[in-house]
Amino acid sequence: MNTLLSEEQRDALQELMNISMGRAANALARLVGAKVTLSIPRIVSVTPVEFAQMLNDTDVWYTRQSFLGHIRGEVLTVLSKAGCDSIGELMDYEVPLDKDTLSELLLELANILAGACLSGFAEQLALNAKLSMPTIFFPQNQEVAQVHWASTLMMEVEFKVEASQFDSRVVICLEDIAVDTLLQALNRLLE
Amino acid sequence: MPIPVTIADDSLMSRKAVRRALPPDWDVEITEACNGKEALLAVESGKAEVLFLDLTMPELDGFGVLKYLHEHHTKTVVIVISADIQPEAKRLVDSLGAFRFLHKPLQAEQLRDTLFEVGLI
Spatial contact of B4 and B48, defined as CB atoms under 8 Å apart: yes
Q: Is B11 on the interface with A (CB under 8 A)?
A: yes
Task: Spell out the domains of chain A, with CATH numbers in brackets.
Answer: 7-190 (3.40.1550.10)
In tens, the pLDDT along A21-60 reads 999 999 999 989 899 998 888 888 777 777 778 888 899 9
A24 close contact with B: CB closer than 8 A:
no
pLDDT for A1 beyond 50: no
**Structure ipTM:** 0.87
- Look up the domain containing B95 and give its range: 3-118
Report how many domains make up chain B. Answer: 1
CB atoms near residue A186 (< 10 Å):
20
Nearest CA in chain A to B106: A19
Closest CA to A106 of A131, A81, A130, A89: A81
Q: In this model, does residue B45 exceed pLDDT 90?
A: yes
pLDDT of A137 above 70 = yes
E strand or H helix at B70, and its extent?
A: helix B62-71
Minimal CA–CA distance to B13: which of A105, A39, A188? A188
* Contact in structure between A185 and A3 (CB atoms under 8 Å): no
Percent share of chain B, pLDDT over 90: 95
Cβ neighbours for A16, distance < 8 A, ≥ 6 positions apart? A120, A121, A124, A125
With CB atoms and an 8 Å threshold, state whether A18 touches B86.
Answer: no
Give SS3 for A123: helix
Among A107-121, A149-163, B47-61, the minimum mean pLDDT is found in: A149-163
